[in-house]
Amino acid sequence: MAKSICLYFQVHQPTRLRLYRFFDIGKDSHYYDDFQNRTILKRIAQKCYLPMNELLLKAIKAYKGEFKVAFSISGSALEQFERYAPEVLDSFKALADTGCVEFLCETYYHSLAAVASGSEFQFQVQKHKEAIEHYFGQTPVSFRNTELIYSDAIGRQVYELGFKTMLTEGARHIMGWRSPNYVYNNDLVEGQKLLLRNYSLSDDIAFRFGDRNWAGWPLTAEKFKSWVSAAEGDYVGLFMDYETFGEHTDKASGIFDFMAALPGEILKDGKIRFLTPKEVAAEFKSVGDLSVPNAISWADEERDLTAWLGNDLQNEAFNKLYSLREKLSLLDNPVLWADYGHLSESDHLYYMCTKFFTDGDMHKYFNPYASPYEAFINYMNVLSDFIIRVNDAIAVK
């Protein structure tokens, strides 16, 4: 039976773009829909971040160091907290102060830099690391890439940036007969440990919890514990979006009550422990190499990159953005760098996804645009203005 549970929550909010028309190009370089971003953030803060942080803080205090969780909070989300809801930031700091919360490192802008540009990736990882140190007073040692995107090569890049532990998806097509409930290591770098998401048990909470047609409904802490106990392996990686609680799954479903009951239920007979990613990596040995030549992610049925780079529109936007990187590196204009970062948020590409039919519901839920085409047009208009600014700045230089 599994000896431990590794809980990690992803916190991210995209910097949504305003309606940016052709007529604005060259005239107006404010790209963001501040009103929408603020409104959405404040809503989610009330429905999810604040009540959930309070719940976790209570549990951590109640179980005196036995209950632990990990967070990864994107830089884009941190910026929005600071601007629109500083009380959320304070509540995360309070969690950090308990010593029972590990903060992971990722790309600051929740970007696809890992598959685009080594130098941009390094820049964003470093920037995020510094942000975590600044806000939470701890230096992150475990890494999660945007949307758990991973390949052997990405893992090596991450290792070279100093992270010996990395989280990714226990995708069925790479695991085959193997269980995700063990620690594996990078096929190219033996020293890098991989922690895998148990998608089945994770999605029981993240996607199926409120589904009354699901055979497992209603999910209780006792029932969930019995499933964890029945699982083989060293740990169960429960990795999910933090917005699951109260936002994706409504409070009325009882998901908060479930989460409040879970730590006590799990800990009560002392057989299962909670561990953070770095503790899992320290405690368990790798059971073998995991070969992932092509990138995987935690998204959609395919568990690959096609949600972001699956059609011509996305490839064009992606290529145009990253082809600017070299020019930008000649400039030390912080405003341009910040805009570039926000334009690199993977969400912009996600909105251009045309996979309507299988995972369409999920895509629609997260999408402020009526169609992928509108998303593309708007993004390219913004990018065109940005390109002009970069070229102008270089001309001045």
- Provide the b/e sequence for 10-37 (b: ≥16 CB within 10 Å): bbbbbbbbbebeeebbeeebebebeeeb
**What's the CA gap between 253 and 362, in Å, rounded?**
19
**148, 197 Cβ separation under 8 angstroms:** yes
**What's the CA gap between 87 and 251, in Å, rounded?**
21
Nearby residues of 124 by Cβ (< 8 Å), 6 or more positions away: 75, 107, 108, 109, 111, 113, 341, 344
Q: Which of 294, 329, 170, 186 is nearest to 237 (CA)?
A: 170
Nearer to another protein, 205 or 375 (CB): 375
Task: Work out which of 50, 231, 387, 393 binds another protein, going by CB under 8 A.
Answer: 387
Q: Please give the residues from 253 up to 312 whose contact with another protein meets the rule CB under 8 A.
A: 311-312
In the DSSP assignment, the letter for residue 47 is I
**Per-residue x/- marks for another protein, 88-127, CB under 8 A?**
----------------------------------------
Task: Work out which of 313, 328, 343, 349 binds another protein, going by CB under 8 A.
Answer: 313
Smallest distance, Å, CB 115 to another protein?
Answer: 18
Mark the segment that binds another protein (CB under 8 A) among 93-101, 216-224, 254-262, 367-375.
367-375
Query: What single letter denotes the amino acid at residue 4?
Result: S
Contact between 381 and another protein by CB under 8 A: the answer reads yes
CB atoms within 10 A of CB 129: 21
Q: Please give the residues from 314 up to 353 whose contact with another protein meets the rule CB under 8 A.
A: 315-317, 319-320
Contact between 377 and another protein by CB under 8 A: the answer reads yes
Q: Which of 62, 113, 33 is nearest to 259 (CA)?
A: 62
**What's the CA gap between 255 and 194, in Å, rounded?**
29
Identified catalytic residue from 102, 106, 120, 147: 147
- The yes-or-no answer on residue 326 being catalytic is no
Smallest distance, Å, CB 112 to another protein?
Answer: 17
Smallest distance, Å, CB 118 to another protein?
Answer: 23
Contact between 134 and another protein by CB under 8 A: the answer reads no
Nearer to another protein, 184 or 369 (CB): 369
Smallest distance, Å, CB 313 to another protein?
Answer: 5
Nearer to another protein, 189 or 324 (CB): 324
**What's the CA gap between 67 and 105, in Å, rounded?**
21
In the DSSP assignment, the letter for residue 299 is S
Interface with another protein (CB under 8 A), residue total 27
Smallest distance, Å, CB 383 to another protein?
Answer: 6
Q: Which of 38, 39, 71 is nearest to 52 (CA)?
A: 71
Helix pair angle (118-136, 152-160), 10° resolution: 50
Nearer to another protein, 113 or 380 (CB): 380
Q: Please give the residues from 5 up to 24 whose contact with another protein meets the rule CB under 8 A.
A: 21-24
Smallest distance, Å, CB 374 to another protein?
Answer: 8
**Per-residue x/- marks for another protein, 24-43, CB under 8 A?**
xxxxx---------------
Catalytic site residues? 147
Residues that bind another protein (CB under 8 A): 21-28, 311-313, 315-317, 319-320, 371, 373-374, 376-377, 380-381, 383-384, 387-388
